Structure 1
């Protein structure tokens, strides 16, 4: 296999992104022409990774799956049916697999399968390519826990077989037989006249030509056709490829008929929303978005999705609440895909010095502090989300419009604040600077867009809440200043020491979760002002109708009961085991009271001070201070 690029003299071939393509990606855009450029580079990258895998393998004859056999069949397919070869090569799972396989050879382990199974996946790809090409062939492939995946075609399911009896080291009698599949074994795949026969021992699965019909022991790849005519798009609803999930592979998860139909309906509807509200993104997705791997539904307003730079074109996503949410998710993940493709052509950041730790930043869409590279990915993805909601709020149904206005206002604020924080960072390469400058220019123009007052204020409150909660969990004032503050409080001094306002220390709280609970409650309020969430959101866990991370005081605050919320937060903070976020909730509850304006500003701007001093007081005396009184006292110096 060879990279199909043109050489000049003795120089190696390389890819260039056109000026138009770079300009579009720097703006956060990218239509089908730009995506085709990225796909061309991705193709070469995968061929080079295959060559690296081939060069780093142990002797082929030591592998249960003959690697040379797979390589020869792939080369044969490339010669006789290049389209079939390209379909398998450019499948997202192929990119994920070859990257992980090369990493495994270099000592990084991402799955529990033995090396020969991981490397032998090349034979499964070759069998799929051979079938697509209509060639006659016979090849040995790995069996994964009784499953034989043939990527882009489907998956054979072998009958369960009992494991042989094994002698327990401390017993004379054998253990009871367990009806479970063997972990790792091999099967023979034979292709003749378009028909496949998959044989493992006495088990055999026959697959009729076309491979798209479900049969005994055979699960075909499920394809979805979106739109029609010039706007049609084909998409794989990926259930079967073990390398459909990131960063680790997973066993197939076949959808029920009802699940599949629900997903097909959601994807069809979301595609029409994208064509209307994000036409350029939709054009880019036509060649660039190849598969969606469904995962189980999650708590309302907390969907989960992911992509991987090595799996260009693939998205994993939990079942969405509605069409707009799915459309926004696809935009978000496709932004990651485009930026990942750009980064494969050139870095956005210069590497850090070997003796310097990775700098960490606040990311408004995460619970944890993020390195700069991860922050740039988030900026680019949520820039796309902001752009989607900016348009969709004007096309959504009237009942949905308040939520859409809120989403636009929230993500506009979060992206803009983060861009301002890092746009001039010294580690940015010229391409990285160009991307952040162009994104900043566009986002700045959006900051003047009108948003209804109620939704705008709610978005501002939620953004402030998230940052304050993040500070309370991850930042610590100077330890000596906290100790001095405790002593000053005990002596009855009028104000805390000025050193308490000095630079904080980042101490990541690795256990914190659900810093977005205020945003989730706001979405409930906007979508169902008098809905059942008012009574169920404080229950533990989403299965009980609750909002994870929310307590009764948070719900009172979301409902606008400031007096009730203030009393509830104060009671929690006076007792033992109060949640850290209660300091922020108290600050928001006090915001409407002029008599406690200073305390509110302190708790929303620097909640880490109140937390640290209260914790130190409890340690020193066994009892904390009244939280409102303490916050008022802490506010008595310049911040």
Structure 2
């Protein structure tokens, strides 16, 4: 008996792989990634069928595939389908932490998927589907709202002669025949088409699919017509910008971006966006401040999408052998990150640095902000890469990717930026790192105890043990490490409402969550006043890491107390830990600057 021929493997030619390594990737490269994702989805679907009886849903999906294969392919490649498949398989394997919805509801989404496929393939059919909190979601189409009191129930989707209804307990909701149309009890998935005919982006504005949010499913939150119109306007403007300034990226997005999940607006200059490797082509994003912010968000998440697709084909890291998870400084996060997460961030924020590099060349009204953002993000990316570019877990491809991005970043760092904005970017980058250290670096307890004794004994300098590299201990209270950068953005925006009033820095700080009065003063360049504000804050509340880091930055900018400035800029965790220990032991807090100056003395 002859052996079966081996299955074909997905392959990225060297030129396509080189594009991805550079952080780029055109439509042809994205098509290759999509081919890999399609095979992966089919494998996951087969695994799910092997693990449980999909029964009528499998049969109906197969019938739809026979009638309209392009419809089933579209549903299969929909980001929310990928999210559901991995969520369901994790539930079956006992690896999902949540117990809701019940497993039968999770698995029953297959019936909803099959119903959507059959409806779009214009089949006559009837199938039972789950009801989640009174809603039935049909992927890519919309959701029906039913008068069901129980959180989890069942309904029937029935199509006959071109008429489709969702029915339970004698109540019917008609599904409009025209895609994207609303009706009584029916919320459609809107399809947005923006851009000129030959360069259009067609994307679902999905506010109803339970698997549209990452990493956890959530119930539908339909937008109002006004809110949807605002998203369309923002997307049109962002797409116009991308076509003009990032045409290659825009062309790739046309092939690989399928779904945009809107969430409520967050704080100004603090957008929230999420994507997931299991949901290729999906983006969850908060309502943006403006079109530029939305364009940056799309670039950011599309970088994650491309890297996620690459990682499904080939690894960039080997598995750790000792079971210890190393944690690293990621300038765009409040928390320490494992190597896998740091690599994702480097790739995504290299794309953001590239965006601002191009944007500052073509913009005039926002040139101040563009200069600042470019200088800040190139610094953040370079800092992150310097930590790990020789890491032993990097595969040869992972090494090539980081080396290539480091080369690009080195070129960016050599590009001139006006001194005012360069100084602000350095200030914010250094402050962010110092705040992170103050939160997450923990000097050894014995060294802190020995330092307290030395201080109380009147020693001329701290013990040598305090100078050893502190370990990383994640501090769950770490929040808003970017507060100074947010305040600088308010200063540079050119919008009157954003201006920081010099006579009322407390009000400016109150507009930015996590910001201190000293931060607002530092953002406008008044380092002397910032110094006094940080000291006053530490006198009232000695613990906050941001005040320790900010004090060091204020001392450095004001060029006073250089030894204290050096210690607080580079090792604020030492001053914070010893200060807190002295307060516990003596009941009296020492002067922060005097303590930091002493701690900077050459150790014994």
TM range (shorter): over 0.9
**How does 1:475-486 map onto structure 2 within 5 Å?**
475-486=441-452
Which residue of the partner structure matches residue 328 of structure 2? 361
Aligned partner of 1:613 in structure 2 is 578
Q: Equivalences for 1:309-388 in 2 at 5 Å?
A: 309-353=277-321, 355-388=322-355
- Decide which moves more: 289-298 or 423-432: 423-432
Range 282-291 or range 569-578, more displaced = 569-578
Partner of 1:565: 530
Give the deviation of 1:582 after TM superposition. Answer: 0.8
* 1:73-222 alignment runs, 5 A limit: 73-109=60-96, 110=98, 112-158=100-146, 160-161=147-148, 181-222=149-190
TM-score by length of 1: 0.91
Query: What is the alpha-carbon distance in structure 2 between the residues aligned to residue 334 and residue 479 of structure 1?
Result: 44
Greater CA drift, 209-218 or 149-158? 209-218
What are the equivalent positions in structure 2 for 1:296-311 lying under 5 Å apart?
296-311=264-279
1:32 aligns with 2:32: no
Aligned 1:186-265 pairs, distance under 5 A: 186-265=154-233
In 2, the alpha carbon distance for the partners of 1:27 and 1:215 equals 47
Q: Say yes or no: does 1:548 pair with 2:482.
A: no
Q: Which runs of 4+ in 1 moved over 6 A?
A: none
Q: Could you tell me which runs of 5 or more consecutive residues in structure 1 were left unpaired when the two chains were aligned.
A: 1-6, 61-66, 162-180
State the 1:85 CA deviation. Answer: 1.1
Residues 1:454 and 2:420 aligned together: yes
Q: 1:527 aligns with which of 456, 476, 493?
A: 493
Match of 1:471 in 2: 437
Go from structure 1 to structure 2 and tell me whether the alpha carbon gap of 1:69 and 1:606 turns closer, same or farther (over 3 Å shift).
same
Name the SS for the 2:243 alignment partner. helix
Once structures 1 and 2 are overlaid, which stretch shifts more, 490-499 or 77-86?
490-499
- Compared with structure 1, are the counterparts of its residues 593 and 119 closer, same or farther at alpha carbon in structure 2 (3 Å cutoff)? closer
For the Cα contact (< 8 Å) 1:224–1:235, is it kept in 2?
yes
SS at match of 2:5: coil
Give the Cα–Cα distance (whole angstroms) in 1 for the partners of residues 280 and 109 of structure 2: 19
Counterparts in 2 of 1:422-441, with a 5 A limit? 422-441=388-407
Q: Is the 8 A contact 2:543 2:576 kept in 1?
A: no
CA RMSD of aligned residues (A): 1.9
C-alpha offsets along residues 322-372 of structure 1, whole Å, 9 cap, x if unaligned?
11111011000000000000000011111112x431011111111111000
- Other-structure match for 1:391: 358
Shift of 1:529: 8.2
- Please state whether the residue corresponding to 2:203 is helix, strand or coil: strand
Provide the rounded CA distance (Å) in 2 between the counterparts of 1:133 and 1:531: 52
Specify whether residues 476 and 225 from structure 1 end up closer, same or farther in structure 2 by C-alpha distance, changes over 3 A only: same
How far has the Cα of 1:12 moved from its partner?
A: 2.6
The 3 A distance-change label for structure 1 pair 390 and 375 is: same
* 1:111–1:249 contact (8 Å) kept in structure 2: no
Which stretch of the first structure deviates more once superposed, 373-382 or 355-364? 355-364
How many angstroms does 1:244 deviate by?
A: 0.2
Partner Cα separation in structure 1 for residue 184 and residue 505 of structure 2: 46
The CA distance in 1 between the partners of 2:531 and 2:411, in whole Å, is 38
TM normalised by structure 2 equals: 0.96
Distance 2:573 2:485 in 1: 21
How much does 1:14 deviate? 2.1
Sort the Cα spacing of 1:554 and 1:248 in 2 relative to 1 into closer, same or farther, 3 A: same
